[in-house]
Structure 1
Amino acid sequence: MIETVFRTEDLSVTDRVDAWREKLSQIHAPVDLACRPDSDFRAQQRVVQLGGALVWSSAWSPQTIRRTPRLIRHSDPEVVHLSLITRGAVGFRVGGPDALYGPYELRTNDSSRPFEILMGPQGEVVDAVSVDVPRARLPLSSDDLDRVIGHRMTGQEGVGALLAAFLTTLTDDTRSYTAADVPRLETIVVDLLAAVFANALDAMDCLPAESRRRTLTLRVQAFIRNHLHDPDLTPATIAAAHHISTSHLHRLFQDSGTTVAGLIRHLRLERAREQLADPARSDVPVHLVAVRSGFEHHAVFTRAFRSAYGMSPRDYRRCALLHEAGGDLATD
């Protein structure tokens, strides 16, 4: 996996604006940049390359970015951009009235149309997580893409929340991924981006069947994670929540190397393990950790935990907290 980091703080004051303009132009397409060319100007960016897709987190001082007809005539890589704003506000103008976007809204543009972006119009710093994908990579018609670009969308519910969670999780910590994960991660990015656009157009049926299947699987997995505490979380309740049959649900997991019940069990044990190792939760009784993780019966939880991790929950907590404190596990 290729990851690059850029900070204007690493450059002299006089070089910062030009270097930042060049970085933005490399990521999306050539742009003009207007900002304060002094020591107050700051920007940083961390880019993860996933095949043909780029995912990047950024923090921006107030500035204005323009993609003009002249720049489009000079160079158009035909790239679609989506930003999840996590802090601050962004003003935007593309072929219509001005719009203002706030935290957890999804803002889009593409390299083939003029636009103007006002980062932090009230003088605030803006944080965002973004993705850039070639138009040709998305399984939507050119007309559909033209209709959805600039459409106001949310990252707080539905498939938009799935995309937001994936982008933020990926950019928060890339250490658990390797180069072998890149094709799968790129596919997830493209599927979720296409699903967000299709959902905004009320045209999910226009997506390829395989893309719909992968997106549904991601929705099911997210639903399971959000409902682990519920002891009534079963294949039947999951299928009903997604308006599919239980047999359809089981088919979604046939190629994943696990079953629905197996995934629920694994995620519940992982949640319990994380809570047991957390010093801030050291006073929470083990049986309550089990209940909060979705286990109704303490004996069942203890057996499953010992089978998965080689020791009882109580012993695991003791060892984890001793290690956190810098103790010697071998002599304890």
Structure 2
Amino acid sequence: MVHRTMIDTEQLPPAERFGMWLDLVARTAAPLRIRSAHQHDFRARAEFVELGPIQLVRYRYPSLAAVRTAKLIRRTEVDFHMLALTTDGAGVVGQDGRQSRLGAGEFTLYDGSRPHEVSGFGDEGEQQHAASVVALIPYGAMPLSPERLTPLLAGRMSATEGLGALVAQYLTRITSYPEQYRQADAERLGGVALDLISTMLGRHLVAEDDMPREVRRRALLAQVQNHIQRHLGDAGLTPGSIAEAHHISVRSLHRLFEQEQTTVASYVRELRLERCRRDLADPALAHRPVQAIATRWGFRDKAHFSRTFRAAHRLTPQEYRTVHLQQARIVNSPASEVNSVRTY
């Protein structure tokens, strides 16, 4: 599992919670000076996820206002850019004389090496908490220089369409379910995040030509793979439809996957088989017919599905299901639970 750290102020008595949050913020890569009307009972949570070159932080907090002063900046050893996604509530960010009000589903970028102000507000008269996901990106990790990124500071960028939506989905998925990813994959996951973020920022700067070709290729590949995963159940998912959805030629699509040592068809087939395996082994889906599972994941022809599955696993779909459901019953049987307790 990737390395993560969770901080929850509700672990302490109400009078100590705000102090705990101040200590937490003081130890981060970009410390801030904070004030809040909820200091008497500051219920907040932060989860830090380390992904190689970058750090992702998922925040949930009452309304607050924060400022990064020149004095705090001088105490920081590494300069960072911060890409912040508002997921609940609203926020206000100001830097270099520019100020923007942000709603849920919007990104903003600010430079940790320069003074700035950030505020967050909950919905419904501040009865609900504000929430955000922040990516801390060291200088030099992206192919765009700090000078090139200056026009984007404290601005607004959509997280609900185009590349912005893809970046938002990627960051929220990882920070919502970090336990699903292995530590060995952290570096690559961070690299994909950097490629997507760099490409999104480059688009906003109308400077995509400044992006290295390999960064653009990996970002496009991530978009294509995300599209495939979202449309696996569509029988009309073909190289032609995939290429059309991304405004590229089928030939370009095939070249994109050649560098991944696979083909488009193989990638789609393996994903579909993976989803079928998962559902066939799930006791909660034991009542569902095998063909219904196959159809759900894009295998419309029963005979074709059976041949494809058997070629991959040397078992028919029904044999695979029987074996794995039997194993699940053994693991979950009372005798197994007793033995597990005795083992420990």
Residue matched to 2:73: 72
> 1:155 aligned to 2:159?
yes
Deviation (angstroms), 1:73 = 4.8
- Cα gap change, 1:279/1:149 in structure 2, threshold over 3 Å: closer, same or farther? farther
Between stretches 80-89 and 22-31, larger displacement belongs to: 22-31
Q: Partner of 2:233: helix, strand, or coil?
A: coil
TM-score (norm 1): 0.86
- Cα gap change, 1:84/1:312 in structure 2, threshold over 3 Å: closer, same or farther? farther
CA–CA separation in structure 1 for the residues paired with 2:158 and 2:318: 42
CA–CA separation in structure 2 for the residues paired with 1:273 and 1:86: 33
Letter in 1 for 2:56: V
- Cα gap change, 1:75/1:175 in structure 2, threshold over 3 Å: closer, same or farther? closer
Letter in 1 for 2:87: T
Tell me how many residue pairs correspond in the alignment. 327
Given that 2:65 and 2:120 are in contact with CA atoms closer than 8 Å, whether structure 1 keeps it comes out as yes
Deviation (angstroms), 1:80 = 0.8
CA–CA separation in structure 2 for the residues paired with 1:242 and 1:182: 27
CA–CA separation in structure 1 for the residues paired with 2:278 and 2:101: 39
Given that 1:27 and 1:132 are in contact with CA atoms closer than 8 Å, whether structure 2 keeps it comes out as no
Letter in 1 for 2:176: D
Q: Partner of 1:91: helix, strand, or coil?
A: strand
Between stretches 263-272 and 236-245, larger displacement belongs to: 236-245
Letter in 1 for 2:53: G
TM-score (norm 2): 0.83
Deviation (angstroms), 1:241 = 2.7
CA–CA separation in structure 1 for the residues paired with 2:329 and 2:207: 50
Residue matched to 1:115: 116
> 1:34 aligned to 2:38?
no
Residue matched to 2:209: 205
Letter in 2 for 1:265: R
Deviation (angstroms), 1:96 = 4.8
CA–CA separation in structure 2 for the residues paired with 1:223 and 1:74: 43
CA–CA separation in structure 2 for the residues paired with 1:94 and 1:145: 13
CA–CA separation in structure 2 for the residues paired with 1:247 and 1:216: 14
- Cα gap change, 1:312/1:100 in structure 2, threshold over 3 Å: closer, same or farther? farther
Q: Which runs of 5+ in 1 are unaligned?
A: none
Given that 2:53 and 2:191 are in contact with CA atoms closer than 8 Å, whether structure 1 keeps it comes out as no
Q: Partner of 1:253: helix, strand, or coil?
A: helix
Given that 1:76 and 1:112 are in contact with CA atoms closer than 8 Å, whether structure 2 keeps it comes out as no
Residue matched to 2:95: 94
Q: Partner of 2:27: helix, strand, or coil?
A: helix
Q: CA RMSD, aligned part only?
A: 2.7
Between stretches 220-229 and 15-24, larger displacement belongs to: 15-24
Between stretches 274-283 and 96-105, larger displacement belongs to: 274-283
CA–CA separation in structure 2 for the residues paired with 1:206 and 1:249: 22
CA–CA separation in structure 1 for the residues paired with 2:173 and 2:20: 28
Overall identity of the aligned pairs, in %: 36
Q: 2:238 aligns with which of 228, 234, 240?
A: 234
CA–CA separation in structure 2 for the residues paired with 1:283 and 1:83: 44
